[in-house]
Structure 1
Amino acid sequence: TAEAYPPRPDAGPTVHWSHWAMRRTLARLGSPLPAPPGTDAGEPGTEWLETATWQVLTHQLAVLAALAVPGEDSAVARVARGRPVDLARGFVRAVRRRDWQQAAGAGRWLTVVDGVPDTLGLETGLDFVELMGGTDPRVALQVQAARITRAAGALV
């Protein structure tokens, strides 16, 4: 489907990033896809993310939570690594607003960046997000990915 449905030129940046990530994953699995017509195969830009408020940053990173993978480098990951306090603030805001999907995505990013304030209580926060997220499989997926990431980091 990645080849059959490339992002439109006017699609939002998260759409372009998601498609870029799918192409990169397929290439690693031995099935590379050409870049969509009119684009290059490089990473999309992050200007929109670099200048975003902490609220917008958290929302956009939550949408791109699948890119929050330990050891993987991308321009999005570099932006996230440069703003851990803003991301932590966004996680708390998402919990307070009961936006469990955004909180879970932000929590996943918080497991792969350094400089997260200890006072955040991320582990307890993830437990709470999982509990309150109920049966939403998207919340469960992001929380489980965050836990696996944290456990792997603790082993290093």
Structure 2
Amino acid sequence: MEQPGTTTPLTGAVRELATQVVSALTSGGHSPMSAHTPVTVGDDELGLAAVRVLGADVLLPAVLHRTLPAPADLAVCEKAVLAYPPGPDASPASRWSHWAMVHTLANLGAPTAHTSFENPEPDASWLEDLPWQALAHQLALLAALAVPGADSAVAGIARRRTVDVARGFVRAVRRRGWLQAAATGRWLTLLDDVPDTLGLDAGLAFVALMGGDDPRVALHLQAARPVLPGAAAGRR
């Protein structure tokens, strides 16, 4: 958790945006033919940077509720994709985050032409042999890819290393790293062979109790909720 006095303007903007996304996720009730109320707050430099940090999760309410995104959100996300493309020295996680945004925009029918260009998946082989601690950290950074029904090379690696993801979740909880715990827990709700001994439901409830005041933590927990065992939507 952040200490008082350490919040930067960008951090504040990201938290505000995450709060808006969580509000949209918890409200629900939209018709598939009606768009959500916009979650983005502007397309100035700070607003676009916040969108780029949160990535495809800005559009998560439309993805999970299977509704139309607000046109304003589509427009701002497209501007963010154009304003912050991964550079030559970008990290693999940054490349995957960019891919996820473009992929999501295209799936949601973003109107402008640039979302139609070829968008091949980045390489994911770098994840294959990472130690489990590093794997859990990287998957937490890429939690926007953990969406029911979606598939990617990253998701495939997570499925093959379920035990390592579970170990990462436990480690994050023990270290009180609530953001990473929520993000890795979000991945685990999509995996079929999570050990029953993990107690994922109880673990996520504990993360919500201890870290749920952070809107980024709350966002990941809301993303996990529709696919938790026993939830109304069931495991997809």
Deviations 1:74-97 (A, max 9, x none): 000000000111100110000001
User: In structure 1, how many angstroms separate the alpha carbons of the residues matched to 2:114 and 2:133?
Assistant: 34
Q: SS state of the match for residue 116, structure 1? A: coil
Q: Does 1:86 align with 2:164?
A: yes
User: Do the aligned partners of 1:26 and 1:33 also contact (CA within 8 Å) in 2?
Assistant: no
User: Do the aligned partners of 1:87 and 1:106 also contact (CA within 8 Å) in 2?
Assistant: yes
User: In structure 1, how many angstroms separate the alpha carbons of the residues matched to 2:82 and 2:212?
Assistant: 34
Shift, 1:35, TM fit: 8.6
Which of these residues, 130, 133, 137, is aligned with residue 52 of structure 1?
130
Point out where structure 2 has 5 or more consecutive residues left out of the alignment.
1-79
Which of these residues, 173, 178, 184, is aligned with residue 106 of structure 1?
184
Q: Compute the RMSD of aligned alpha carbons.
A: 1.7
Partner of 1:145: 223
Partner of 2:153: 75
Shift, 1:145, TM fit: 1.1
Deviations 1:83-132 (A, max 9, x none): 11110011000000100000000000000011100000000000000111
Partner of 1:97: 175
Q: If you compute each CA radius of gyration, which structure gives the higher value, 1 or 2?
A: 2
Shift, 1:70, TM fit: 1.5
TM-score normalised by structure 2 residue count? 0.61
User: In structure 2, how many angstroms separate the alpha carbons of the residues matched to 1:93 and 1:35?
Assistant: 40
User: Do the aligned partners of 2:86 and 2:94 also contact (CA within 8 Å) in 1?
Assistant: yes
Percent identity, aligned pairs only, is 64
Partner of 1:20: 99
User: Match of 2:114, as an amino acid?
Assistant: L
Q: SS state of the match for residue 7, structure 1? A: coil
Which of these residues, 183, 201, 218, is aligned with residue 123 of structure 1?
201
Shift, 1:5, TM fit: 1.5
Partner of 2:114: 33
Partner of 1:8: 87
Shift, 1:24, TM fit: 0.6
TM-score normalised by structure 1 residue count? 0.91
Deviating runs (4+, > 6 A) in structure 1?
none
User: In structure 1, how many angstroms separate the alpha carbons of the residues matched to 2:202 and 2:121?
Assistant: 34
User: Do the aligned partners of 2:103 and 2:119 also contact (CA within 8 Å) in 1?
Assistant: no
Count the aligned residue pairs. 152
User: Do the aligned partners of 1:111 and 1:146 also contact (CA within 8 Å) in 2?
Assistant: yes
User: In structure 1, how many angstroms separate the alpha carbons of the residues matched to 2:164 and 2:234?
Assistant: 22
Deviations 1:8-60 (A, max 9, x none): 11111111001000001111122253599xxx620001121111110011011
User: Do the aligned partners of 2:127 and 2:157 also contact (CA within 8 Å) in 1?
Assistant: yes
Q: SS state of the match for residue 2, structure 1? A: helix
Shift in alpha-carbon separation, 1:22–1:104, aligned structure 2, 3 A: same
